[in-house]
Amino acid sequence: MAESLSVSGTTKKEKYESLLPQIKALIEGETDFIANLSNIMSALKFGMDFFWVGIYFVKEQQLVLGPFQGPVACTRIQLGKGVCGTAWKEKKTIIVEDVDQFPGHIACSSLSKSEIVLPAFDKNSEVILILDVDSEHLAAFDETDKVYLEQLMRLIEDLTPTLSKGEGVKF
Ligand code: SME
């Protein structure tokens, strides 16, 4: 496992293209799902200089906070609530340019101004977790983030245990 990451490039595209192979190398040889997600969150936060990066698992018909990097956050989110609960319900990536304009946005930190939320799916196309990335800047996320973070979600799906049984994540 690499001890540190070094993200090169000036554009967002270049940074993701530098970071994603390093994330793959980082998790290579480690089979523990939580350990890998934890390192991926750190790599994303510090590699891309995001304000908050974290996972919410679908558990007991709620989203429950998982590995994250950044200030403390709300621990449970209901289906259809906030950006995360909406991305879960609608089973799609949501980009919010201004969180104050998103009805029902859940403000874990008043410093967060924009966000992107992406679902990961099991083999039955059920959402098993979501990734939430927040920025202190308005309109920080666009199609470039969507393209590369969706690639990351496919990588996370490949790491997920017991998906083929459609039983959700077991640890
Ligand atoms: N803003 C999110 C809640 C999670 S935090 O930002 C970490 C939402 O509206 O779902």
**pLDDT number for residue 1:** 63
Beta bridge partners of 131: 55, 118
**pLDDT number for residue 2:** 62
62-106 pLDDT, tens digit per residue, is 999 999 999 999 999 999 999 999 999 999 999 999 999 999 999
pLDDT-derived band at 162, boundaries 50, 70, 90:
low
**pLDDT number for residue 29:** 86
pLDDT-derived band at 164, boundaries 50, 70, 90:
very low
Cα of 127 vs centre of ligand 1, distance in Å, is 17
Closest C-alpha residue for ligand 1 atom 1: 106
**pLDDT number for residue 165:** 43
Q: To the nearest whole number, what is the mean pLDDT of the chain?
A: 92
Inter-CA distances, 144 with 49, 105, 118, 137, 169, Å: 15, 23, 13, 16, 28
Which residues sit with their C-beta closer than 6 Å to ligand 1? 52, 54, 73-74, 77, 82-85, 105-106, 108, 112, 115, 132, 134
For the chain, list the domains and their CATH numbers.
Answer: 12-159 (3.30.450.40)
